[in-house]
Amino acid sequence: MIDSHCHLDHEPLISNLDAIIARSKDAGITKILTICTTLGSFDKIKEIIYKDKIIFGTFGIHPHEAKNYEVTSNFIINQINNNNKIIGVGETGLDFYYNNSEKNQQLKSFEEHIIAAKKLNIPLIIHSRNAEKETFEILNSFKNDNLKILMHCFTGSTEFAQKLLDLNAFFSASGIITFKKSISLQETFSYIPLEKLLIETDSPFLSPEPNRGKKNEPSFIKYTAEKLANIKKIDKQELISATTLNFNKLFN
C-alpha cells in the first residue's frame, strides 16, 4: 500500500517517527508521501524524507496559509529542484469554508503552484473545500497543459468528479469514506474509475473507523483500503494493487 498524503511533520507523528515507520511497514506500506503546508513544514520535511527510503515529500503552501506566504512559481520550482525526493507540488488549492486567507490570495497562490507543476511536469496535490466552481474554473483554464492533478481527500460531488475526470484527474480517498454518514461520498467513489483512485490517511487527521477520534497514522490506511474495496465491490488486494499502480504511474 501507499499512503499518498500524510503530515509526518505534525505531532504526534514527528516525535514518534521510528515507531510510525515500523508500524507502516508492518501494515504493508511501501511508500509514504508527506505533504508540505508552510515553509516551516518544508524545513522539517527535508529532514524527514531521509529517515527512511519509503518516505517522499512535496513542497507547497496550504490555501489557509496563502496570506502568510506569497510564493512565486520560480520559488516553488527552486525548492523542488534542490531535492530529488520532493516529488509533488502542494498541498495547494482553495478553501472557502474557513476563509483563513482571502479569496484573491488563495487564487493567486494556487495559480503559482499550477504554473510550477506544469513547468516541472510533476503532480499537483489539490485541496478543495467549498470551492468546486472556482477550483474547476482555474484548472480548466490550464486544460491544454496536461496537468497531473491529484484531488487530495476528495469530498466533492459526483458532478465535480466528472468534470475533473475530463481533465484526467486522480482522486484520493481518505478515512472519511469509512464514516457512517458519508453515503453520498461513497456513491461518488463507486462512480470514479478504479484506474483513477489513490488512498491516503491525511494523518494525523481524519482517522478512519474503527479508530475515529484517535490521532491518525499511515498504518491506519488499511481500513480505508478495506472500505474502498467494499465500495468498488472488489477484493482488497486488487484495490491495493490498483491504487499502488496508480500512484506509481502518476508520480512516475
Query: How do residues 227-251 score in pLDDT, each as one tens digit?
Result: 999 999 999 999 999 999 999 999 9
pLDDT tens string 168-188: 999 999 999 999 999 999 999
Percent of the chain whose pLDDT exceeds 90: 97
d(CA 234, CA 90): 31
Q: For residue 34, which of 54, 73, 60, 5 has the smallest C-alpha distance?
A: 5
d(CA 26, CA 188): 31
d(CA 72, CA 116): 8
For range 45-63, the mean pLDDT = 97
pLDDT tens string 8-31: 999 999 999 999 999 999 999 999
Q: Mean pLDDT in the chain? A: 97
Does 101 have pLDDT greater than 90?
Answer: no
Residue linked to cell 487564487: 107
> How many structural domains is the chain composed of?
1
Is the bond into 63 cis (omega within 30 degrees of 0)?
A: no
For range 124-132, the mean pLDDT = 96
Residue 78 belongs to domain spanning:
2-250
**By the 8 A CB rule, do 124 and 87 touch?**
no
What pLDDT shows up at residue 98?
82
CATH label of the domain that carries residue 98: 3.20.20.140
